[in-house]
Structure 1
Amino acid sequence: MKRSIISTISLVLLSSLVTANAQDRESTDTTAPTSAVPASGAATTPNGVTPPSPKATGKEKPEVVSVTGSRIKRKDLDVASPITIVGREEIANTGATTVTEVMKTLPAAVGNSVTTTTTNGGGGGSGNIALRGLDPSSTLVLLNGRRLPNDVNGQSPDLNSIPVGAIERIEVLQDGASAIYGSDAIAGVINIITRKNIDGMDFGMYFGRASKGDLETKNYDLAYGTSNEKGSMVLGLNYYTQGNVKSRDRSVSRQSLHPSSATPNGHVVFSPTNNVIVDPNFHGTNPTPANYVPFTPDARYNYSSITDAIMAQNRKSLFLSGDYELSKDLKLNLESSYTNTVSRWDSAPTPLFTSQETGNIVVSPLNPYNAFGVPLTDVRKRFLELGPREAQSDSDTFRIVAGLSGGFGSEKKWTWDVNANHGEANIRTQNRNIINKTNLMLGLGDPAACREVASLGCVPVNITGPYGSVDAAQASWLRLNAMDTTSTEMNSYTFNTGGELAKLDFATINMAAGAEIRDETYLKKADSNSEKFNTVGNTNGKSTDGDRKIKEVYVEFNMPVSKVVELDLAARYSNYSDFGDTTNPKYGLKITPFQGFTIRGTYSTGFRAPSLPELFGGQVENFTTLTHGDPCSTAGTRGCTAVADPSTNQWLALQGGNPKLQPEKSRSYTFGLAYSLANAWNVKADYWVINTENAIDTNPDFVVQQFRKFGKFADRVDVDANNNITQIRATALNLAARRVKGLDLATDYTLRNTASGTWALNVLASHYINYQNQADASSPFENVVGRYVDASSGGRGSIPAWKGRAAIDWSLIGIDAGVVMNYTSHLNVGTTDDFVYTDLDAWRTYDMHVGYDFQKFGKVTLGIDNLTDKNPPVTDGAFNDNIDARTHNLIGRFYYARYGVTI
């Protein structure tokens, strides 16, 4: 009801703007301000972008602009903090159709980002970016300088909910900013700026397909804008669809490196050294003990023959924004967006590990299919007879902002704005072809019990026979579909003011201040069977909810000390209903000894409150991998009383929220040099440090290693009589401390209007010097730079020593072309200096595009991503498809065509 009322009001108000503007356009000839953003990152200031330029008449004062990381408006973007800005033209040249595709190529984006090419296990099609190798939750995401609602996973907002066609530019602040924006801005800030100055209609369409014939992608954008001297309005529509990629259709993922011990043929474990499986040469349905043979690794099931490596999805988006001058000192601002995303993916057929399931699943000796005549407590079965697990998520993201702004004073040197911001995200996830655990237990038990409910379809179930022994009646009795729903909501109310505080002989002292009240809520409604932990093959978990209220005030000063020295001072006080108070300052220094050369540095403290899902998320069952495996699966390991089953490579983990979590705290430092020459050559270098305490983590691998070797976390690991791990309780903990430091480098050179055209070179690179990770207070710090540890094991993902991109662009009389090299340095799979699985080669790919502008008939661009069809490095220890899909991808060569026209 709330959303429908708000939507109606916003549509009525914006429609009135359309009508008013359309009438005024006939009598008013105005040119909207434009934003000059370089192609392919060809920077024109030390910060890498030309600031938005005003209408120029030759008499007007330079327009002041806002820059991410400061509430003070300035005449340029040359500030103390390091910023990377990706303009609209550069976004188009990348061929990207989602924000995460744009962001993933930036050198600062390493670690556990989630994109549309990260699928196995779901995700609902949402996209999050991790900066500096910290979690996505440590990066604040803004839309036009205002917060967005987090996605239902609580990590950060879904970047893919913002259509690329609506974006003017993306500003990435690579520095802590809790003093300016509050919680979450530890690693940095991603601020997405939407288009505001459109007069007429823009239409764009995009078609792409992998050279293997799959991942067919289509994208359609429509933007309409109108403006006059009283206001402006922009309406944007987007439709996006993406086909799937099967794991079996890529050589790198066709055969899993760690196939499953849950096999289509019945696999019975009597002890770690006594494993038997139905002889593959047996073709009946009721084997005798003589028809079983010893289990060998070759008998494991290759689930990659079924799984989707990349999910199919479609997305529909609507974006509206407008402003209207109510009087010369008062302006109305409105902004609204809605995105619906439907994603579909197949997982391998439901696996069953009876010893690891909650509920004590036992094959009764009276079960007619039990050939051994004794209770079977550890049986492993892959239910191919039920078909693949089919999942579909349907998510909605909605946001509306309404506000007033104005200025006061003789020359309006002070401005103010007040805004109300409502955002919500909802997702409905359905899982098909899973198993009803109660029905399974009845089917495996005494047939007499099953006969009592035969009218409901109960039949004895055969999980010890070969593939095909689960007939149609059994499959019908077992099959279950489940639906979970999750929602998050945010309401915030902000007031900001800023302007000139004092005028000096050589400059002015500027100030900004403001306040914010924010409410956040989280609600998860689990399926009734999931709630009772009554499913197999699904993420069983409890329904849960939580909420909080935050009150904040901030102040910021920009204080020139001399003509060449400038200080920035800021502080923010926050009061959380669940964590109390915190104050976080930030100090910045900028020295400009001569024109074009800047020395800059910052120091700040940061604060990240645990997200509501991290606090209140219901505990759910997941199967996880362990980077180091179970130490007790190898004979002679210290602390092990018996050898555990070496064939196990996935373990049941209970994961979820922890209401005892405490906030993360950080200290950040940056020091940089920037030089710009003649608006043609720019170069910058920034050294940065982020030290984090109380880092929130869920690390089942660490818990198991500590339990097996030193007896720690005994309350978090369950083992059976054979010393096999049956469950790991890996809920979120304040485990880690991190010491991260690195170096960002950037340079660009533009050679304009030569006889051969205009040429531009742009290079961006990040070097990770150290990433010292401490699992808990009693553990030593370990440097994980150059290593990969999968997120499913609680790892940081890939932290390459170097990541970079270099682009060369050329244009001449309507023709343009460009080539981009993307580079990630080599990696080791492992977590300690003496434990390395494999060495992963450096990954270098090349993208290219060529376009022709037909002027009023539009522009056509053709492109190829991964021109050389480079395969990603095979990654032992990766949970998905033998690769780190958050760093590499298995798409291969990809062709696309884009057409855009302004009407």
Structure 2
Amino acid sequence: MLLLSEGAVAACPNSGVHLPAGNLERALITLGRECKFSVLVQTSSAASYNLPEKILDSENGEFEQALQQLLRGSPFTYERVGPSAVAVLTRPAEAEDDTEALPAHTEEITVTGQSLTGSHLRHLQLDSYAPIDVLAQPELEITGAQTIAELLKFLPAVSGNSTSTSVSNGGDGTATVTLRGLPASNTLVLINGRRIVSNGFGGEAADLNTIPLSAVDRVEILKDGASAVYGSDAIAGVVNIILRRDFEGLSLNSYYGQAQRGDQQTESHHITWGKNGERGHLMLSLAHYSQGALMSRDRELSASADNRPRGGTDQRSSASPEGFIALDGGEILTNAENDGYRQWSSDDRYDYREYTSAVVPSQRHSAYLEGNLDLGENTLAFVEAMGIRTSAKTTMAPTPVFTRFDNGDLTIAADNVYNPFGEEVVDVRKRVLELGPRIQKNRTETWRLNSGLKGMWDSWEWELTAAFHYTRASESLNNLIDPLALSRSLKGPEICDPNTGCVATDLLGPSGSIDAAQLDFIRGGSVVEGTTRMSSLTYIVNGPLGSNYAGDVLAAAGAEFRRETIDFRSNDAGGLSFIGGHASGSAEGDRVIGEAFAEISVPLAEDSLWLDGAMRFSDYSDFGHTANPKLALRWRPSPSMMVRASYATGFKAPTLIDMNQSGYQSQEYLFDPCTRSDANTLPGCRGQADVARIQYLTEFGGNPNLQPETSDNRSLGLVWTPRRLQGFSATLDLFDIRQNDVIDTSPQYLIDKNAYSALFTDRVLRDDSGDITKIFATRLNIGAREVSGYDLTLRYEHNSAEIGQLRWSLNGSHMRHYLNQAAPGSPEEDLAGTFVDAASGGAGSLPQWKANTGVYWHKGRWEGGYTVHYVSELEESFTLNEKRVTRKINSWSSHDLQLAYALPLGLRFAVGIDNLLDRDPPFAATAFNDNFDGRTYDLSGRYWYTTLAYNL
């Protein structure tokens, strides 16, 4: 996958570029789209200059040749300002001085008429006060990526607990992005600069799977806080997905790929049609995507949960098909079919990986419609509509039963017809293979409509947008066990009377002893359905506020009114979670938000010093109001050097789930210090607890009194573009994010405090033996974080007739600190360079270094790319033989290769290989899913793919 970022590749159609009659602005937009080149121009001057219909020649796909033809005889000229980017300027002599102020580079590629992510201002300065990565359409084509989550996964600034279909147990078919290792709810996802509805299961974050990559023109990643510009959630940064617009013609594209081992077959097909008219434009894009499964058993790394040979622990389950049966005298038995009852040993643990899917099969169908109509008087009506349906199917091992620790009274009565021991049996752990594997099906249906008006008044631009977004999600998990039915079936004839339809269940027999009648009586399935809605009305205006001795003062202002609602429910068994699943509980809530915002850019010295500021005031109906400012300074001491610095405050509003959820229960993967042999010395322990347990029943809850998480963001950057080395640029940006009042529910923190300090006895419930029976984890504003580090980017482009266009890029991110404090008074931990699995309440993989570098080549009909992704080593800690050990997770790199050829008649053929050297992900002893972190690495191995495209 090629992630050179920032810029595009010139590749005009060899047949030429047809431009209908119209103004220069529209002609430049069409030329830029057709030739995959970025153009910067002042909208007002370009819109007032009209051109006749033209057909531009483009021999060998050369963009500049076509641009020269377009501007010939006009009062405009152009200047190359960066890799695959030009600025169109007026020809008067006085403009010559202005062009000197333009640096011979661009860090942010700005398409005509578009503002950059992180600002509503539209100005000619190409210098942003914050680092932005841009992945443009030609780069999207050469990567081979078919989803946005796949595209963003290896970006250096992305780390932590994003979700995707590479996460099976614990996944829900959605995909999110996590900048700087902060939770996904701290990264704001926009479409065309506008907020979108969050996922249907509570709105924690936007689901990237509901945005088809085939409709995307480019992705801009702002690596800085932006609450002053966009409001809530933009603490770690912003991912702005710009959809294709102004496309004209017909485009067909088909992709097929599969792992070298013959699985994970993936295909996608999309068709895009667009037409320009005298007064407007219309575009329609249809897409289908299908990803095949990869099973845990089909890779050596993930085939077994017993990691002792690799230096880890045995994570196989004590709930085995033959059973774990604890009797009153302390004897633990198992029932092997041939041997009858015998002593249970650790060798009887069950390896559930035989059933589990490592990469979840999924499908998506989407439709995207875009159009605009010129109403005259400098006013344009526009509409953007999108509908997408997604589905995913996760396979998990058959349901385990833990009679002592699951919900309900699951004690096996002494007079149960299948109890041969003549005593109550409290603790039985059994894997009910007879039910078959658990199948989790996730489906979503998302609709988005943005419509409005935009135009110009004098030299000011304005836009009024009304948005209506809706997502409906459902999740079904079958082959579970109803705890109420199982409770009855484990009792004697007085309670489980066959005459009333009760069927006694045999949990004490060997595997296969539970017959069809028993299964029918205890079988259950959970269903969760949720909807999230958002409607908004936004007005934005921007333009020159005036001028001073140093230049124009630019300003933007606006207001937004938004309503958000959620409603989701599950069919829990009388408020209890089905055994083998989780109880999602329910939540219902809505809020109304009113916001006002403003921005200003003031030049302090001509072409060398600017002061930028922004402020946003937000009023929420459920918790109150907040105001967040941002100040930035840009200084150019020389034409080739720029220094930028910024300070901002930010906030993340508690989600409606955070405030309103009730009844959510899950078996969490946690560690109880009371299982240690020295448990008698710990204040909160009542002797040594059961060492065989790795899961604990946890109930999470919302809190209507939550307040927003707050942050302070600081950045300092240096941009170097030496004039003597044309095509080269380097940037270095330091960042520091300090976050307070973090909303957390950490059950591991509660257990630790309970064991070591005898605290939270009302939240961590233990029985007389000291074993945890239940944990209550209510959301609270208790945490604090500080993340600091720096980003480094180097780029070079060389063009010559002999070798064509050659581009090289290095993009790296270093995490210096990730200081985390779980609660006031608790110790502060530095998590940078560590891995703590999300299943244990951790922040995931937080590598100190993450980088990619690559080379891209294009000449005539040929183009190719070679990319290397790198993740530095990590550390993980766990208990092994009652000792706390720390081990290294090895560094990892992946090499990707692509080659494409433009055939005659508009055809393009490409082949690619991801993970060329077939490197396995590094082993992680504490990773619950498949012995590695699926959020950071890829299990597929060497992966081949091919694409065939037709453009007319």
TM norm structure 1: 0.91
Q: CA deviation at 1:239?
A: 0.2
Q: CA deviation at 1:228?
A: 3.2
SS in 1 for 2:496: helix
Give the counterpart of 2:842 among 795, 820, 824.
795
Q: CA deviation at 1:27?
A: 11
**Alpha carbons 1:416, 1:497 under 8 Å: kept:** yes
Count of aligned pairs between the two proteins: 860
* Superposed CA offset, 1:382-438 (max 9, x none): 1100000111111111110111112112xxx11111111111111111111111222
CA distance in structure 1 between the aligned counterparts of 2:85 and 2:115, rounded to whole angstroms: 9
Aligned position for 1:269: 326
CA distance in structure 2 between the aligned counterparts of 1:49 and 1:514, rounded to whole angstroms: 33
**Alpha carbons 1:533, 1:541 under 8 Å: kept:** no
1:670 aligns with 2:715: yes
Structure 1: stretches of 5+ with no match in the other structure: 1-23, 283-290
Aligned position for 1:866: 915
Q: CA deviation at 1:721?
A: 2.1
CA distance in structure 1 between the aligned counterparts of 2:775 and 2:36, rounded to whole angstroms: 51
SS in 1 for 2:721: strand
Q: CA 1:64 to 1:242, structure 2 compared with 1: closer, same or farther past 3 Å? A: closer
SS in 2 for 1:237: strand
Deviates more, 1:768-777 or 1:621-630: 621-630
Q: CA 1:274 to 1:596, structure 2 compared with 1: closer, same or farther past 3 Å? A: farther
1:204 aligns with 2:224: no
The residue type paired with residue 575 of structure 1 is: D
Q: CA deviation at 1:53?
A: 6.4
Q: CA 1:763 to 1:753, structure 2 compared with 1: closer, same or farther past 3 Å? A: same
Give the counterpart of 2:597 among 542, 551, 554.
554
1:470-509 aligned at under 5 Å gives the runs: 470-509=514-553
Aligned position for 1:622: 666
* Superposed CA offset, 1:255-278 (max 9, x none): 013011111112113479643222
1:140 aligns with 2:188: yes
CA distance in structure 1 between the aligned counterparts of 2:404 and 2:80, rounded to whole angstroms: 61
SS in 2 for 1:367: coil
The residue type paired with residue 851 of structure 1 is: A
CA distance in structure 2 between the aligned counterparts of 1:26 and 1:665, rounded to whole angstroms: 52
1:538 aligns with 2:577: no
| CA RMSD between the two structures | 2.6
Aligned position for 1:431: 477
Q: CA 1:524 to 1:27, structure 2 compared with 1: closer, same or farther past 3 Å? A: closer
Q: CA deviation at 1:835?
A: 5.0
* Superposed CA offset, 1:163-190 (max 9, x none): 1111111011100100000000000000
1:129 aligns with 2:127: no
CA distance in structure 1 between the aligned counterparts of 2:82 and 2:671, rounded to whole angstroms: 40
Give the counterpart of 2:276 among 201, 224, 227.
227
CA distance in structure 2 between the aligned counterparts of 1:878 and 1:701, rounded to whole angstroms: 16
The residue type paired with residue 540 of structure 1 is: A
Q: CA deviation at 1:631?
A: 4.7
**Alpha carbons 1:202, 1:901 under 8 Å: kept:** yes
Aligned position for 1:116: 165
Aligned position for 1:81: 130
Deviates more, 1:602-611 or 1:158-167: 158-167
The residue type paired with residue 415 of structure 2 is: L
Aligned position for 2:32: 34
**Alpha carbons 1:718, 1:727 under 8 Å: kept:** yes
1:183 aligns with 2:232: yes
CA distance in structure 1 between the aligned counterparts of 2:189 and 2:115, rounded to whole angstroms: 16
Aligned position for 1:406: 455
* Superposed CA offset, 1:57-85 (max 9, x none): 99999955301101111124311111111
1:702 aligns with 2:749: yes
Q: CA deviation at 1:211?
A: 1.0
* Superposed CA offset, 1:92-141 (max 9, x none): 222110001111111000001112212223312x1100000100100011
1:248 aligns with 2:297: yes
* Superposed CA offset, 1:297-346 (max 9, x none): 21111110111111111100111111111112221111110110011111
1:499-538 aligned at under 5 Å gives the runs: 499-527=543-571, 529-530=572-573, 532-533=575-576, 535-538=578-581
Give the counterpart of 1:824 among 845, 853, 871.
871
Q: CA 1:343 to 1:559, structure 2 compared with 1: closer, same or farther past 3 Å? A: same
Q: CA 1:638 to 1:451, structure 2 compared with 1: closer, same or farther past 3 Å? A: closer
The residue type paired with residue 495 of structure 2 is: A
**Alpha carbons 2:679, 2:686 under 8 Å: kept:** no
**Alpha carbons 2:528, 2:584 under 8 Å: kept:** no
**Alpha carbons 1:771, 1:785 under 8 Å: kept:** yes
Aligned position for 1:326: 375
1:344-359 aligned at under 5 Å gives the runs: 344-359=393-408
Q: CA 1:33 to 1:575, structure 2 compared with 1: closer, same or farther past 3 Å? A: farther
**Alpha carbons 2:782, 2:824 under 8 Å: kept:** yes
The residue type paired with residue 682 of structure 1 is: S
Q: CA 1:539 to 1:619, structure 2 compared with 1: closer, same or farther past 3 Å? A: same
SS in 2 for 1:476: helix
The residue type paired with residue 535 of structure 1 is: F
Q: CA 1:375 to 1:741, structure 2 compared with 1: closer, same or farther past 3 Å? A: same
The residue type paired with residue 789 of structure 1 is: V
Q: CA deviation at 1:636?
A: 4.8
The residue type paired with residue 265 of structure 1 is: E
CA distance in structure 1 between the aligned counterparts of 2:329 and 2:231, rounded to whole angstroms: 52
Aligned position for 1:893: 942
Aligned position for 1:755: 802
Q: CA deviation at 1:831?
A: 8.8
Q: CA deviation at 1:795?
A: 0.7
CA distance in structure 2 between the aligned counterparts of 1:661 and 1:877, rounded to whole angstroms: 32
Aligned position for 2:443: 394
CA distance in structure 2 between the aligned counterparts of 1:627 and 1:783, rounded to whole angstroms: 20
The residue type paired with residue 83 of structure 1 is: I
Q: CA 1:601 to 1:800, structure 2 compared with 1: closer, same or farther past 3 Å? A: same
Give the counterpart of 2:497 among 434, 451, 455.
451
CA distance in structure 2 between the aligned counterparts of 1:208 and 1:113, rounded to whole angstroms: 24
CA distance in structure 2 between the aligned counterparts of 1:332 and 1:292, rounded to whole angstroms: 77
CA distance in structure 2 between the aligned counterparts of 1:633 and 1:465, rounded to whole angstroms: 32
Q: CA deviation at 1:46?
A: 14
SS in 2 for 1:709: helix
CA distance in structure 2 between the aligned counterparts of 1:49 and 1:666, rounded to whole angstroms: 35
The residue type paired with residue 223 of structure 2 is: Q
CA distance in structure 2 between the aligned counterparts of 1:629 and 1:344, rounded to whole angstroms: 36
1:691 aligns with 2:746: no
* Superposed CA offset, 1:541-597 (max 9, x none): 433201111111011101000121001011111111111111100001101122232
1:312-323 aligned at under 5 Å gives the runs: 312-323=361-372
* Superposed CA offset, 1:840-898 (max 9, x none): 10011111111111143311110011111111111111121111111112111111001
Aligned position for 1:150: 198
CA distance in structure 1 between the aligned counterparts of 2:739 and 2:188, rounded to whole angstroms: 16
Deviates more, 1:669-678 or 1:751-760: 751-760
CA distance in structure 2 between the aligned counterparts of 1:662 and 1:47, rounded to whole angstroms: 46
CA distance in structure 1 between the aligned counterparts of 2:146 and 2:544, rounded to whole angstroms: 41
Aligned position for 1:806: 853
Deviates more, 1:603-612 or 1:637-646: 637-646
SS in 2 for 1:448: coil
Aligned position for 1:10: none
**Alpha carbons 2:714, 2:736 under 8 Å: kept:** yes
**Alpha carbons 1:438, 1:534 under 8 Å: kept:** no
TM norm structure 2: 0.87
**Alpha carbons 1:630, 1:704 under 8 Å: kept:** no
Q: CA 1:871 to 1:45, structure 2 compared with 1: closer, same or farther past 3 Å? A: farther
Aligned position for 2:932: 883
CA distance in structure 2 between the aligned counterparts of 1:45 and 1:662, rounded to whole angstroms: 50
